[in-house]
Amino acid sequence: MGNCATCDDPSIYEHAGEQMRPFKNKPNLDDQENVQQLTQKSKLSQSTVKSQNASFIVQQHIRQDLKKLDSIPDFTNTFTKTLIDQLQPFNYDQNEPFEFKSLPFYGPVEIEPSVFYYGQWKNGFRHGRGKQFWADGSIYEGYWLQDKANGDGRLIHSDGDLYEGKWLNDKAHGFGVYSHKDGAFYKGEWYEDQQHGNGLEKWADGSMFEGTYTNGMKHGHGKFSWPDGSSYVGEFINNNIHGKGHYIWADNREYEGDWKDNQMDGHGVFSWSDGRRYVGGYVNDKKEGYGEFYWPDGRVYKGHWKDGKQHGKGQYKGTNKILKEGEWVDGKLLKWNN
């Protein structure tokens, strides 16, 4: 495969019967000057070949319309400079594709107005290791394939945000971490620049979500925690609490049941820390339809509700254990029926 510096010289096998000696003929010291001249010419010839090879590689891999610059202008701003000072050097993969080891580095060059690049090239494309700078202060460093960010890479945004992780065709794709300058971050799976799959997101105020995302939105099963101690574990649809779930408030109230667009809606169980408990229907966060309410002292109401209040026919059992039937309107007893 290709040229090999350690391959055997074929002439060894052609003259296998001859005795091998370090020098076939002892050099004539009187001709030493000629020997030196020959050596110098040989070195010059080798240098010329190397120069020609390097020129050929440049012509083969690097766009001829690009002019090499002495340096890249300093586009850093207050946000990016602070972030750069905090970051460690980008860690390139030691097990990168073998072809990258032979591709030329070239630059810096201005590949389009106010966009500068230094790195490896292949057949006119950015390919391999490379670093790109934008006039707004953004910087990408990592791997390229056919002129697009692919594989591991790090993008410093002009506002001080940072993404580091996997790329596919210039988009965050695979596992990556996006960090905001205010301390908020997302760590998890991406699909074409959107949060997609399992992930953990935390906001500057301490709120946190861990679960599944679809097309950039919380979707599926997850847990959301608020800084006051409240939490929700259950289903989400399009960033909203929707489906089956369990919500615990900071004062230890709890609801477990059906949700719709961030509201209790359907059937569920609501309990209070003092022992009160409601089991029944909800609509738009309010008790609605049939439901049963239990007090810690033994009282029970079983009947109909509307807008969060007893409304319609129902049964009531007091602390005396006597069961009565009656009618209620807007939470007030209208009459007893027995």
Helix, strand or coil, per DSSP, at residue 58: helix
Q: Residue 71: which residues within 8 A CB-CB, separation 6 or more?
A: 108
Domain for residue 111, yes or no? Answer: yes
Of the chain, the percentage scoring pLDDT greater than 70 comes to 83
Arithmetic mean of pLDDT over the chain: 86
How much is the pLDDT for 280? 98
Domain for residue 142, yes or no? Answer: yes
Domain for residue 291, yes or no? Answer: no
Confidence bin at 47 (pLDDT 50/70/90):
very low
Confidence bin at 5 (pLDDT 50/70/90):
very low
145-181 pLDDT per residue, tens: 999 999 999 999 999 999 999 999 999 999 999 999 9
User: Cα–Cα distance between 275 and 73 in angstroms, integer?
Assistant: 68
271-313 pLDDT per residue, tens: 999 999 999 999 999 999 999 999 999 999 999 999 999 999 9
Number of domains observed in the structure of the chain: 1
Domain for residue 164, yes or no? Answer: no
How much is the pLDDT for 26? 31
76-104 pLDDT per residue, tens: 999 999 999 999 999 999 889 999 999 99
How much is the pLDDT for 60? 77
Confidence bin at 67 (pLDDT 50/70/90):
confident
User: Cα–Cα distance between 140 and 134 in angstroms, integer?
Assistant: 9
Query: Whole domain around residue 91: which residue ranges?
Result: 57-159
Domain for residue 169, yes or no? Answer: no
User: Cα–Cα distance between 322 and 333 in angstroms, integer?
Assistant: 16
